[in-house]
Amino acid sequence: MAGGKERSMKALKEVWRRPENSLCADCGKPDPDWASSTLGVFICLSCSGIHRNIPSISKVKSLKMDHWDDAQVQFLAKHGNAVSKATYEAHIPIYYYQPNYNDCQVLREQWIRAKYERKEFTEPGRQLPYSDGVKEGILWKRARDNGQFQPRKFLLSEREGCLKYFTKQDAKEPKINVKIDLINATFQPVKIGNPNGLQITYLKDNKTRNIFVYHESGKEVVDWFNAIRSVQFHYLKVAFPIANDNEIKNRLTRNFLKEGYMEKTGPKQREAFKKRWFTLDHRRLMYFKDPLDVFAKGEVFVGSRENGYSIQKGLPSGTQGNFSWHHGITIVTPDREYLFTCETETDQLDWIAAFTSIINQPMTPQEYAIEAYFKFKS
C-alpha cells in the first residue's frame, strides 16, 4: 500500500514538473500547487477557490496535502495545462481581456467560468454577448452631487463609435456621448466599494472625466468591459488599417500604473503641502481631492528622459512649506519642478519606479501633441 502511494506521488511530481504546468493555467502565477482532478489543469490557491465554487465542472485538490490515486494522476498526465489551453482557449477573441494574478476577483472568476463552464472559446465564430458591436443595459452609476448609485441606461454602439448613457430609460437624448477611442475602463472594486466596480474614464476638452459604475452580476459587468474592448478594437482597425492586431490590442483599455495618496505643493513651492489622491494613467499624472471625484483638480504631463523629464528622490534643499510626510519626490520637467511627499519610504520607491518606467519610454507623435497642449494650457 505504501509502495503504491509512493509510486503515485512520484508520478504526480513528474507531471507537476513539466514546463507547461509551471504556471497557473488560469492566471499565470508561478508554482501552482493545486490541480483540478476533473479538468486536468494545474492552478494556484486563489484560482482553486474559484474552481471550488463551480463543483459541477471542477473538483480541486492540493498537490501537496491531498492523496491522488493512480487514475487521477494518469488523468493529469494525459491532460495538463497545455492540452487544456488548446481546448478551452482555442478561439479567444483578440480583444478579450485575459486576466493575470494581479487582477481583481471578478475578472478572474468570469474568465474561469467563460472557459470551463460556458465554453466560450472552444468553437470558432461563436456569437458572444460582447461581440455584437452593440450593447444596451442598466448599470448603477455614482451620482456626482450626492455620491449615491442610481440605475442608468447605457448604450454602446460600434456603428456610431461611441458610448452613451441616459438619465432616464425613456430619454431620447443622452447625458453624455463619448467617442469610443477616448474611453478607458478599469476595474476598481476597492475604490468604488463594490466587487464589480468599474471605472470608466474619458477625455472631455482634453481633461479626464471619471464615471464609476457597477452591476450586481459579475458576468454582466465583465461583458460590458469586453464589449468596450471589442468596439474599440474594430474602430481602431478602421482608423489604423496598416497596424497589426497586436499593435491595436495594446491600444485598448489599460490599468492605471499606480494610484494612492501623496502630498503636493503649489507652483511657487512655498505653499503648504496638501494631501491629494493621485492617479498615474500612462503619461498623465492626475490629482483629486477625493478618489471618487469626477474631475481631477489638476494634471501633470510626464514626458520622456530624452525630452528633459527626470525623477529625483527627495525634495530640493531649502524647500519651504509645511508637510507632514517626509519621503519626497521631485519631478523635473522642461518648465518647472513638481514636489511631492509620501507617507512611507515604500510608497516613495513605488512611485519613483512607476514614474521611471514612463520617463524611460520614448514619446509617440500623439504624446508630443498632448505635451504641447499641457504647455499651452499652463
Rounded Cα–Cα distance for residues 133 and 131 (Å) = 6
Rounded Cα–Cα distance for residues 211 and 295 (Å) = 10
pLDDT digits (tens, 9 = 90+) for 9-21: 888 889 899 999 9
Host domain of residue 98: 1-117
Q: What is the structure's pLDDT at 9?
A: 82
Q: Are 76 and 164 in a shared domain?
A: no
pLDDT digits (tens, 9 = 90+) for 302-325: 999 999 999 999 998 877 767 889
Q: Are 107 and 31 in a shared domain?
A: yes
Q: What's the burial of 216, exposed, middle or buried (CB within 10 Å: 0-12/13-18/19+)?
A: exposed
Q: Are 240 and 286 in a shared domain?
A: no
Mean pLDDT score of the chain: 92
Flag whether pLDDT at 124 surpasses 80. yes
- Identify whether 126 is part of a domain: no
- Identify whether 178 is part of a domain: yes
Query: What length is written for the chain?
Result: 378
Whether the Cβ atoms of residue 198 and residue 185 lie closer than 8 Å to each other: yes
Q: Which residue has the higher pLDDT, 372 or 278?
A: 278
- Identify whether 125 is part of a domain: no
- pLDDT band for position 378 (cuts 50, 70, 90): low
Domain harbouring 54, CATH code: 1.10.220.150
- Provide the number of structural domains found in the chain: 3
pLDDT digits (tens, 9 = 90+) for 186-213: 999 999 999 999 999 998 877 889 999 9
- Identify whether 142 is part of a domain: yes
Q: Are 284 and 368 in a shared domain?
A: yes
Residues 233-256: b if buried by 16+ CB within 10 A, e if exposed: bbbbeeeeeeeeeeebbeebbeeb
Q: What percent of the chain has pLDDT over 70?
A: 97
Rounded Cα–Cα distance for residues 295 and 309 (Å) = 25
Q: Are 72 and 170 in a shared domain?
A: no
Rounded Cα–Cα distance for residues 12 and 77 (Å) = 8
pLDDT digits (tens, 9 = 90+) for 146-173: 889 999 999 999 999 999 999 988 888 9
- Identify whether 129 is part of a domain: no
Q: What is the structure's pLDDT at 4?
A: 61
Q: What is the mean pLDDT of residues 203-230?
A: 94
Q: What is the structure's pLDDT at 3?
A: 55
Whether the Cβ atoms of residue 309 and residue 220 lie closer than 8 Å to each other: no
Flag whether pLDDT at 69 surpasses 80. yes
Q: Are 215 and 277 in a shared domain?
A: no
Q: What is the structure's pLDDT at 34?
A: 97
Q: Are 156 and 61 in a shared domain?
A: no
Q: Are 15 and 107 in a shared domain?
A: yes
Choose the weakest-confidence range: 41-55, 74-88, 290-304, 309-323.
Answer: 309-323
Q: What is the structure's pLDDT at 29?
A: 97
Return the bridge partners of 185, or none: 200
Task: Write out the chain in H/E/C secondary structure.
Answer: CHHHHHHHHHHHHHHHCCHHHCECCCCCCECCCEEECCCCCEECHHHHHHHHCCCCCCCEEECCCCCCCHHHHHHHHHCHHHHHHHHHCCCCCCCCCCCCCCCCHHHHHHHHHHHHHCCCCCCCCCCCCCCCCEEEEEEEEECCCCCCEEEEEEEEECCCCEEEEECCCCCCCCCEEEEHHHEEEEECHHHHCCCCCEEEEEEECCEEEEEEEECCCHHHHHHHHHHHHHHHHHHHHHHCCCCCHHHHHCCCCCCCCEEEEEEECCCCCCCCCEEEEEEEECCEEEEECCCCCCECCEEEECCCHHHCCEEEECCCCCCCCCCCCCEEEEEECCCCEEEEEECCHHHHHHHHHHHHHHHCCCCCHHHHHHHHHHHHHC
Q: What is the mean pLDDT of residues 205-227?
A: 94
Flag whether pLDDT at 23 surpasses 70. yes
pLDDT digits (tens, 9 = 90+) for 324-361: 898 999 999 998 899 999 999 999 999 999 999 999 99
Q: What is the structure's pLDDT at 1?
A: 45
Pairing of strands 183-187, 198-204: antiparallel
Q: Are 96 and 178 in a shared domain?
A: no
Q: What is the structure's pLDDT at 319?
A: 77
pLDDT digits (tens, 9 = 90+) for 78-93: 999 999 999 999 999 9
Please say which residue of 117, 145, 168 terminates a domain: 117
Q: What is the structure's pLDDT at 206?
A: 75
Q: Are 231 and 174 in a shared domain?
A: yes
Grid cell 430619454 is found at 171
- pLDDT band for position 143 (cuts 50, 70, 90): very high
Domain harbouring 197, CATH code: 2.30.29.30
Please say which residue of 196, 214, 249 terminates a domain: 249
How many C-beta neighbours within 10 Å does residue 81 have? Answer: 23
